[in-house]
Amino acid sequence: MGTWILIFLISGALFYYMYQRHKKLVDSGKVIDRESNFVEKAEDFIISQGVPDEVQKQIQTLPYAEMKVSMRTEGGGQSFLFTGSTWSARLYRKNDEAGKTIYSFQYLNWKTHNGGIMYEDYMNMLLTSIEKMFLSIDPDTQVKTRLLETKTSHKFF
């Protein structure tokens, strides 16, 4: 019986620590409170044409060390691959439409543990940083969100 009480207390303390950490990130503006399935959605950023060079400059200045993520430029500066310890994401330039430039951001893969996304806060920090970057480049940035088709794989051992 004493073991169960100890497990309950440790679980409660761990939950409280994680809640406080997330609250601190939200309060500091490093993350936005999002739905738990935000990784299953793509975001299209529609910006004024003529600012893609600025995107290439600004993307280099994001706080990657703090987010525990690495970034690699691909496609002549038209695509950016982000890699965390258990996940990856891509930001890429889509076709221009009606005098606007469209960039799309989506998570490519991620791991879960006990029903939760591993390192979700770091993933949220990256998305929040990218959203803020586009708003700083073009305050009239429009964002469209679309649900992705996802495939789940299970490991037994």
In the numeric block, which tokens belong to residue 102?
Answer: 């469209």
Q: Using one digit for the tens of pLDDT, what is the confidence trace for 70-98?
A: 999 998 878 999 999 999 999 999 877 78
Confidence at residue 2, expressed as pLDDT on a 0 to 100 scale? 76
Instruction: Identify the band that residue 3 occupies on the pLDDT scale cut at 50, 70 and 90.
Output: confident
Within 8 A by CB and 6+ apart from 151, the residues are none
How many Cα atoms within 13 Å fall on the side-chain side of residue 99?
A: 0
Q: Is the pLDDT of residue 157 over 60?
A: no
Confidence at residue 89, expressed as pLDDT on a 0 to 100 scale? 97
How many Cα atoms within 13 Å fall on the side-chain side of residue 129?
A: 21
In the numeric block, which tokens belong to residue 53?
Answer: 């060079």
Amino acid identity, residue 95?
Answer: N
Cα–Cα distance, 82 to 71 (Å, whole number): 5
Confidence at residue 75, expressed as pLDDT on a 0 to 100 scale? 83
The strand pair at 79-83 and 87-93 is best described as antiparallel
Q: What is the DSSP letter of 118?
A: T
What's the predicted TM-score (pTM) here? 0.80
**Quick count: other Cβ atoms within 10 Å of Cβ 60?**
11
Instruction: Identify the band that residue 125 occupies on the pLDDT scale cut at 50, 70 and 90.
Output: very high
Q: Using one digit for the tens of pLDDT, what is the confidence trace for 27-54?
A: 777 777 788 788 899 999 999 866 777 8
User: What's the mean per-residue pLDDT of the chain?
Assistant: 85
